Chains A and B, each alone.
Chain A
Amino acid sequence: AQSVTQLDSQVPVFEEAPVELRCNYSSSVSVYLFWYVQYPNQGLQLLLKYLSGSTLVKGINGFEAEFNKSQTSFHLRKPSVHISDTAEYFCAVTSDTGRRALTFGSGTRLQVQP
């Protein structure tokens, strides 16, 4: 079985500051990792995903994430946030064997303040 832990339920940050949203996973097999963003009253939008290869993954809206196998982490970063980045962010994992469904973390609410 796999699981995802998002360590911070809320992250307040000032506009133009850098941000890191933390995600740790547990799985005994090779994993595929995803970050999704959900704006208020909307559905899920894929930010980026790690399948294999380079451990640094770049996504939309200036976000990037780094896969660290030894620390079982997949933290999301942005060097300079905007007010429009205020949203909830979900980390999710699946593996290359077993059930295909994504397992999600509990989410991190990013609050960008002017």
Chain B
Amino acid sequence: NAGVTQTPKFRVLKTGQSMTLLCAQDMNHEYMYWYRQDPGMGLRLIHYSVGEGTTAKGEVPDGYNVSRLKKQNFLLGLESAAPSQTSVYFCASSQTRDGYTFGSGTRLTVV
């Protein structure tokens, strides 16, 4: 009964390094989302997916790429990390418009 699992939970990167955040859900949901949370700005949508093999841009997609090769996994990549990408990242999934399940978050610091 895991729901949505995000790995890693914490990470420190140097400017210019790359990394991938993994989001895995075990509820067979079609829709998956990546958000970033910054103080005073709420959660902002980075990218989302409406099904396996599909991805689309949200409000703040610059500097990020995503892939959804398997239905249960949604990967968020940073090719060349910048200090402006220091944030808490949340993944979520849904099947209908009335139920969203969130992961516990990944705290990323870029120095």
Instruction: Check if B33 is an interface residue, CB within 8 A of chain A.
Output: yes
Report yes or no: A105 in contact with B42, Cβ–Cβ below 8 A.
yes
**How many cross-chain pairs have Cβ atoms below 8 Å apart between A and B?**
52
**A–B Cβ pairs within 8 angstroms, 8 of them:** A43-B102, A43-B103, A44-B90, A100-B94, A100-B97, A101-B48, A104-B43, A106-B42
Annotate B76-91 by CB proximity to A: 1 below 8 A, 0 otherwise.
0000000000000010
Report yes or no: B104 in contact with A107, Cβ–Cβ below 8 A.
no
CB within 8 Å of A: which B13-70 residues: 31, 33, 35, 40-45, 48, 50, 56, 58
Interface size in chain A (residues, C-beta < 8 A)? 25
Chain A min CB distance to B20 (Å): 20
- Which single member of A32, A34, A101 contacts B33 (CB below 8 Å)? A101
Q: B residues near A, CB below 8 A?
A: 31, 33, 35, 40-45, 48, 50, 56, 58, 90, 92, 94, 97-98, 100, 102-105
Report yes or no: B31 in contact with A100, Cβ–Cβ below 8 A.
yes
Report yes or no: B48 in contact with A90, Cβ–Cβ below 8 A.
no
With both beta carbons as reference points, the residue of chain A lying nearest to B6 in the complex is identified as A43
Rank and list the top 8 A-B pairs by shortest CB-CB distance, nearest first. A104-B42, A104-B43, A43-B104, A106-B42, A44-B102, A51-B98, A107-B42, A101-B45
Interface centre among B31, B43, B50, B90 (most CB of A within 10 A): B43
Instruction: Check if A42 is an interface residue, CB within 8 A of chain B.
Output: yes
Report yes or no: B48 in contact with A96, Cβ–Cβ below 8 A.
no
With both beta carbons as reference points, the residue of chain A lying nearest to B41 in the complex is identified as A106
* Given A43-B103, A43-B104, A49-B98, A106 and B45 contact (CB-CB distance below 8 Å): no
> Which A residues are in CB contact (< 8 Å) with B94?
100
CB within 8 Å of B: which A77-114 residues: 90, 92, 94-96, 99-107
